[in-house]
A and B are shown apart, each in its own frame.
Chain A
Amino acid sequence: MIQSIRARVTLLFLLALLISVVVFAGGIWIGRKDSAYYRELQRYVQSQAELAVRIIMQAETRGPVTIKRDPLIGEQLTPELASAMEVIPDYLLVLDSTGRALYVSEKARALPEEDLSTLLERSLDIEADATRATLLTLRSGQIFLSARDERDPATSIERIVAGSSTSTTEEIWRDLMRSMLMLAPVVLLLGGTAAYLIGGVAVRPIGSIISELEAITDGRSLHRRLGGADAKGDELSRLTSTLNAMIGRLENSFGGLRRFTADASHELKTPLTVLRASIERAMMAKRGSNEQMEYLEEALNEVTRMADLVNSLLSLARADEGRFDLVRDVVLLDFMLRDIAETATILGEPKGIAVEVTECEALTVEGDAPRLRQLLLNLVENAIKYTTVGGTVELALSSDQGAAVLTVKDSGMGIAAADLPFIFERFWRADRARSRKSGRGGTGLGLAISQYIAQAHGGTLTAQSRLGRGSTFTLTLPGAVCRDVGRSDTTRDSTAPTRVA
């Protein structure tokens, strides 16, 4: 999906950073109830409750603490005590045994009615424990409550409840979260940029390794090694030295192939030379019988075929190594085509095949004439071989956008669509049974070599075919030049060629 490692590293890093920020903030938010702020608040509530108890006990020593002023309202703290209780600014309730409030601090009275009644109700339920504070959730916020029981039979006071809102503390946490939320994009941006830069630094050597490797294309460039395999010992220099070792092994095996090619040239060709020399000598002797001559001719034919096969195999071995050498010179393609056409006519004569040159522009290319001739002879030989009695073979030479296009078209049996992709492979044969019928076929290397010849010229060799309708082989050679036909033949070597448009 995303191609570059650098982009992926940056994205993954950003994702990890985002998760960390969220987990960090969430952890703080959830853990805030256990924080020192909350414990401090609880202690504060407990001490307020304690303070209220002390004030009441102090008051009791001086006289009654409650009066019954209004029969409707019932008993209440004395005004003196009530004003003394005002020193406690937060929530403070003084209840009697029935749960009726004898005193409600100003802040508690300011609560909405619903919250006040909830507060009164819950105040009775909570445990009277000097070491604990209970959290009560109201509509308008949360309150820590601490209760004390004061069971003096002389008074109707039963329970004292002090409370303090958590809102101030919550506000601190909210502020913290808000600033975290605002900082998060900045952190992510900085982190992402850093990851992108670091990713670039880490990936850059890989880029240079790739371009260096791309420069090593064939057997000729295998002596090169990648730079940067120093003693640092990091992953990249290990990768580099591993690749270098691999290239070294490749170079060795290519070198082995080259040596084999050179050795095979000698080891196979020297005995062939001896064989050939012996046969030719024997044929030159004037006293041999006709029968002996026949055997010698057969042997000579075999030796030339074998030498041909050896040369073909060595050519292909060199081509694999990227060393398909050409001896380039100016090649007059139209002359070559006429020459080939004559040979094709002779080849087709026994089968009554008509050979026709349908188009022949005066074109030249820079190329290896013997190799191109070999290619074209191979094509016409195949065309004649696979065309039935009375068929036609058409040869044409034309130019197309600066390239010479040579076609060999036959009306032969054609090639099955399934076979077409394989015909340029080595030792491939259309139909083994058929090619055996007429003695033995060729080496099966002809088309493979022909294609290498075309490619070594920077051109292409392609085939179109339909079973039963015939085949067309097309050779395209770049860099074709049109000769001035008006002054042709006698002056053709001296006329300056003009490039085909």
Chain B
Amino acid sequence: MRILVIEDDPIVGQFVKRGLEEQNWTVDLEADGESGERTAAQGDTYDLIILDMRLPGKDGLSVLRTLRSRGFQRPVLVLTAQDAVDAKVQTLRAGADDYVTKPFAFEELLARIEALSRRPRQLTSPRLELAGLVVDLDTREVTRAGARIELTPKEFKVLEYLMRHPGRVMSRTLITEYAWGYHFDPGTNIVDVVITHLRKKVDANHDQKLIGTVRGVGYVIKE
């Protein structure tokens, strides 16, 4: 998949570009409205455009309107700092397919791109597997070595998040964001409690412990 990112801030732009490249996608970056519009209009090159709303030169909303009026039909994902409903409605009316509100978690951006690119279901495996631990995203069933494990919805969500990024340390903040979408008071150890439950259910009867702790940071699932 080829993606065009139109974002004037170099740090945000590079961050999005590298993150998407890690997904093995081809990503081009443009830093202002006019050049972005020119690049986007070059034939059928891009499968998806990520468009920032506040751009130097020509603002995102005008770029979006121009692209749509010239017959650009691929999905456009808008990055906006405005989370007021009328501002969102305005971008959707102008032809955006979805929006992500700044500041965003990369995970959210990724999830929305995946939804927009309408990848065939069989390509995204509905099963996450690691050392005999299987998480089925469709049936929401979890098994280890064939034995079924009963999880509560939040336990499932936390395990799913770790399983999506095997071998990577996921911080408490990211886990909380993914599972709850709410920022608890500092000092709340909600993730630790859920991990304790998960360890009892997933690791207790097995010699190989899959869930690891990184002190002061978060947790990792690995072989």
Chain A interface (Cβ within 8 Å of chain B)?
Answer: 261-262, 265-266, 269-270, 272-278, 280-281, 283-284, 290, 293-294, 296-297, 300-301, 303-305, 307-308, 311, 314, 318, 323, 325-327, 339, 342-343, 346-347, 349-350, 370, 373-374, 377, 381, 385, 438-442
Contacts and interface: CB of A to CB of B under 8 A. Distances in A.
A347 to B, nearest CB: 6
A297 B217 contact: yes
Given A305-B183, A343-B154, A349-B193, A276 B103 contact: yes
A339 B18 CA distance: 35
Given A277-B12, A277-B15, A266 B190 contact: no
B103 A307 contact: yes
A462 B8 CA distance: 46
Contacts of A440: 185-187
Contacts of B81: 265-266, 269-270, 273
Nearest to B194: A346
Given A266-B54, A277-B12, A385-B185, 15 more contacts: A261-B84, A262-B82, A266-B82, A269-B102, A273-B9, A273-B104, A280-B19, A293-B214, A296-B171, A311-B83, A326-B85, A343-B180, A347-B190, A377-B180, A381-B188
Q: Is the interface of A mostly helix, strand, loop or mixed?
A: helix
B190 A343 contact: yes
Given A308-B183, A350-B189, A381-B184, A265 B83 contact: yes
Given A265-B82, A311-B83, A346-B190, A277 B173 contact: no
B202 interface: no
For chain B, give the interface size range: 35 or more
A308 B184 CA distance: 10
B215 interface: yes
Contacts of A325: 84-86
A370 B82 contact: no
A85 B215 CA distance: 145
28 contacts: A261-B84, A269-B81, A270-B102, A277-B12, A278-B11, A280-B15, A280-B19, A281-B14, A290-B214, A290-B215, A293-B214, A297-B171, A297-B173, A300-B171, A300-B174, A301-B172, A308-B183, A339-B153, A342-B153, A342-B154, A343-B190, A346-B194, A347-B188, A373-B181, A373-B182, A374-B182, A439-B186, A441-B185
Given A274-B12, A300-B173, A438-B187, A370 B181 contact: yes
Given A300-B171, A304-B177, A346 B193 contact: yes
Contacts of B218: 297
Nearest to A315: B83
Contacts of B11: 274, 277-278
**Most chain B CB inside 10 Å of its own CB: which residue of A277, A300, A339, A373:** A277
